[in-house]
């Protein structure tokens, strides 16, 4: 026969659970801060000329990124690019999936493929887009349209 009201006295519980299930002494008094989520920047923007915040070309670049639903915080920006670096080093260093080049050609990165400005070019799992300098296309509506068409294709906008 099973007792429908099982009863365990307090002394039995104390012997079963001799140690505390938690210790208040082990709590830290420091507030817990949630670490910022790691968001890898998979878009690399390379500019031949030096630009910085406040420059008209910098503001123009921000506008381009905004149209692509990106901000300066979402990209890696390399300015004053002059030397010929190997594309594999650049992609590996920045872990880029998209490389947008302003004022640079495929040969500047030693890419083994040639492609004209505004052509969305896939190579080794990376999307490349090259364009004239920001200063050249900033006030040229047809050039901006060509750039926008290639960015829409690259970012599926």
CATH architecture, domain 43-155? 3-Layer(aba) Sandwich (3.40)
Domain extents in the chain: 43-155
Q: On the CB side of 28, how many CA atoms lie within 13 Å of its CA?
A: 4
Instruction: Tell me the C-alpha distance between 108 and 127, whole Å.
Output: 16
24 or 3: whose pLDDT is higher? 3
pLDDT in tens, 41-79: 689 998 888 888 888 899 999 999 999 898 888 898 888
Per-residue model confidence (pLDDT) at position 72:
87
Confidence band (pLDDT; 50, 70, 90) for 146?
very high
Strand partners, 110: none
End-to-end CA, the chain: 72
Tell me the pairing of strands 98-102 and 126-131.
parallel
The tokens of 149 are what?
A: 């068409």
């Amino acid at each position: 026969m099973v007792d429908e009201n099982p009863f365990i006295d307090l002394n039995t519980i104390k012997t079963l659970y001799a140690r505390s299930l938690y210790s208040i002494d082990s709590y830290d008094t420091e507030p817990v801060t949630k670490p910022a989520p790691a968001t890898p920047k998979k878009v690399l923007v390379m500019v031949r000329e030096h630009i910085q915040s406040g420059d008209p070309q910098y503001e123009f670049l921000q506008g381009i990124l905004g149209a692509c639903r990106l901000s300066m915080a979402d990209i890696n920006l390399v300015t004053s690019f002059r030397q010929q670096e190997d594309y594999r080093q650049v992609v590996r260093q920045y872990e880029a999936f998209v490389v947008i080049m302003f004022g640079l050609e495929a040969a500047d990165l030693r890419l083994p493929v040639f492609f004209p400005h505004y052509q969305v070019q896939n190579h080794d799992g990376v999307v490349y887009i090259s364009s004239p300098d920001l200063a050249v296309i900033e006030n040229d509506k047809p050039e901006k349209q060509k750039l926008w068409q290639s960015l829409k294709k690259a970012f599926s906008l």
